[in-house]
Copies of this chain bind each other. A is one copy, B any other.
Amino acid sequence: MMMIMIEVKRASSRRREIAHMKVSREQMVENRRRILEAAGRLFRARGFEAVTVAEVMRAAGLTHGGFYGHFRSKDDLIAATLAELVVAPEPEPTALSDFAARYLSPGHRDNPGDGCPVAALVSETIRQAPEARAAMTEGLRRQIARLADGADAVDPKAARQAAIGSWAAMVGAVIFARMSDDPDLSDEVLAQTRAWIARGA
């Protein structure tokens, strides 16, 4: 859930130094990583549509022209970013209630850019290209499995039900909390959802 901050200043000055330069193979790999990292942060913070290709490249310390050397299209970048964010990470086992406590915290609500990509992007992913939906669907499968492992239920069926219900509630609650323009209601949604989940985990 946390994110490595990249040094934008450094990247920016580096760009000047290496202007008009073919870059080493490892530098290119590093550049691709930066692009995905920047895209992950920007997409989560502002959504797929609102973020421009040029902006992602700038945040990665490059200019817009080089983009199509790394990705076929913006759709391609979106799919790759989702794959990176939701299917690449190794799932760590966690107790469901611990996870819910962190997930439903004001800190998470207030920092979408380095928060859960599902809460930030599921809804938009509905209308994205098949590859993007596939990545998000795979992420959903894994998250359900992970939470079912961390649920203390009597049997696997009950664990899976708790995982699905709790996960839906967590994501819904964070979306509500981010949308609300009333801070008290926002806090209440987080706290009550957490209590509601604890009651049945």
Contact = CB atoms under 8 A, between A and B. Distances in A.
| Interface SS of A by simple majority | helix
A140 B196 contact: no
A164 B179 contact: no
A6 interface: no
The quantity of this chain's copies bound in the complex is 2
A93 interface: no
A165 B196 contact: yes
Contacts of A180: 133, 137, 140
Interface string A136-150: 110011000000000
Nearest to A48: B49
A171 B161 contact: no
B192 A160 contact: yes
5 cross-chain pairs, A with B, having the tightest CB-CB distances, nearest first: A165-B196, A172-B172, A123-B123, A168-B172, A169-B169
- Most interface-central of A125, A126, A180, A188 (chain B CB within 10 A): A126
A156 to B, nearest CB: 13
Contact of A178 (B126, B167, B169): B126
